[in-house]
Amino acid sequence: MSVSPGTAPYQDPARPAEQRAADLLPRMSVEDKAALMVHPTARLGDLDAPGPYGTPSMHSLLAAGIRHFNIIEGPSAREIALWHNQVQLTAASLPPGIPVTISSDPRHHFGSNPLASPLAGPFSQWPEPLGLAAIGDAGLVQRFADLVRREYLAVGIRVALHPQLDLATEPRWARANGTLGESAEAAGRLGVAYVRGLQGAEVGPDSVSAMAKHFPGGGPQRDGEDPHFEYGKEQVYPGGRFDLHLQPFEKAIAAGVAQLMPYYGLPAGTEYEPVGFGFNHQVITGLLRGRLGFDGIVCSDWGILGRTCWGVEHLTYSERIVKALDAGLDQFGGESRPERLAAVVRSGAVSERRLDVSARRLLREKFRLGLFDNPLVDASQADALVGTAAAREQGLAAQAAAMTLLVNRDGPARLPFDTARLPRLYTEGLDPRALDGRATVVRTPAQADAAVLRLSAPWEERGGPGSIESFFHAGSLAFPPAELARIRAICEQVPTVLDVYLDRPALLGQLTAAATLIVNFGAADEAFARVLFGELEPCGSLPFDIPSSMTAVEASRPDVPFDTARPAFRFGHGLRYRTAR
């Protein structure tokens, strides 16, 4: 593509995005269009250094015409912004001269899974989405998403690979922490607020485009296993509740969500073809495009052409491309070889007109975001705009508010602790510095007035250290017997507060020896300390049921919410300090 600057209609910012995309599209080659339709992960730093996961350098990818990148690292806001500007200037100097769109998974929480949620780093830190669901305030969710928008804009991130609108109906599922809970109503209501906070009333130059996931709902996993792995590839609906999982997406579509991501899984035992959702014509074209009327971008989850091609393993790489395009996919997440896509067009297996459909949507989004008109950010201001003291304080307050008080018995461990004296506390999992001026930390339970233990929900170790599997907390929700015996021994020696980080609904009924039981969904020690001493109040309500046993979990139907028998704690349960007695 070679057009003199400022002479083409697509370069006129006064024209509507749809018209600008329609003008630019015919000026592009098949290779240009194919390059728009891949969305690899990039590595910050030297543009000539090799990319992650064996991909070419950033400069090579830009030279190939690729103009969408996902980033994981975040050393500082200024470094991200400087790298972003360097990428944009390099892209502008290379044909076809189209600006770059940078995306990111959620990075304002506590999770540390490079395939789902990078560390917050320089960004303000808030509770997990489950914690936002525990608070349940749509206004807070919209304010949170608006803050995410502003912090992303400051560094050049223009697509959020979130919110996650799946329902946490299978208690064992490793991705529950990224959801807005088990209730379809709550996930839909809070999801709409999230989309509006990122995008505003409509996508524009001040928006971050939301890519909601994982259509048509990734929660009902067989045995709670995740489809990142072959043993978790099946989504099942024994309760016939497929449409229930659509509800949050329907509401997000009505609210104008710009992009959607199908999950890796395949529907088993349904009316739909048993192939991964990214390859599923009935689901993407029939259901999403047809029945729900969605004309936004559909981007696959990362790596479906090679690693997670469930149901189409027998097809060649090129045949998988053809099937995904036939399904209605616009973009291939995690792919960096646009020449393979161009080759299927050159071979006649896919028409160029089919590429035009997706390229038009992708160009339209770049025009709507204002990337053609103002692609650079002010890197000198990035550190001042990202992770401000005020934003961090808001995040800390939300962490505390999301904490959910389940049991609060009378005695020395009753919360909040008496501030009239400095209690002697034995602690585990809590930095003693967070208690400076609030309590005296002692070395043994025998020396203490009360014990405070911070724990995590249990999971089964899988894969070796650093393996993909190791980042997914899956399997049994029961605390190991040895750990239970250790906790019980402390509780019998001294009244004990147990605080459990819930990334999944652990079997908390096993912790009956505790005097006080509270759970968090991502809370720094400082937020927890403020709750312990009544400086902030835990205002959370459980965003899902807490099962009574693994037998109940195994007997439940993965697609049906609130389906475990006689739960230990019900959805919505949460005591308040003022009413705890």
Residues 6+ apart with CB under 8 A from 535: 529
Residues 6+ apart with CB under 8 A from 470: 461, 462, 463, 464
Tokens of 73: 């690292």
Residues 6+ apart with CB under 8 A from 76: 121, 122, 382, 383
Q: Work out the number of other CB atoms within 10 angstroms of the CB of residue 492.
A: 11
- Helix 338-346 crosses helix 352-368 at what angle (to 10 degrees)? 140
13 upstream amide cis, omega within 30 of 0: no
Task: Report which residue type is found at 445.
Answer: P
Of 457, 451, 456, 447, whose CA–CA distance to 435 is shortest?
Answer: 451
3-class state of residue 157 by DSSP: strand
CA 184 to CA 179: how far, in whole Å? 11
Residues 6+ apart with CB under 8 A from 390: none
CA 126 to CA 226: how far, in whole Å? 25
CA 399, chain centre distance (Å): 17
CA 506 to CA 455: how far, in whole Å? 11
Tokens of 261: 């991501």
Question: How many helices and strands (H and E) does the chain possess?
Answer: 17, 17
214 upstream amide cis, omega within 30 of 0: yes
The catalytic position among 32, 105, 301, 545 is 301
301 is catalytic: yes
CA 405 to CA 579: how far, in whole Å? 11
Of 154, 182, 261, 168, whose CA–CA distance to 214 is shortest?
Answer: 261
3-class state of residue 152 by DSSP: helix
Phi, psi (deg, nearest 5) at residue 194? -65, -50
Tokens of 580: 């705890």
CA 400 to CA 418: how far, in whole Å? 18
Are 20 and 367 in contact, with CB atoms under 8 Å apart? yes
Are 41 and 339 in contact, with CB atoms under 8 Å apart? no
216 upstream amide cis, omega within 30 of 0: yes
End-to-end CA distance of the chain: 72
Q: Which residues are catalytic?
A: 301
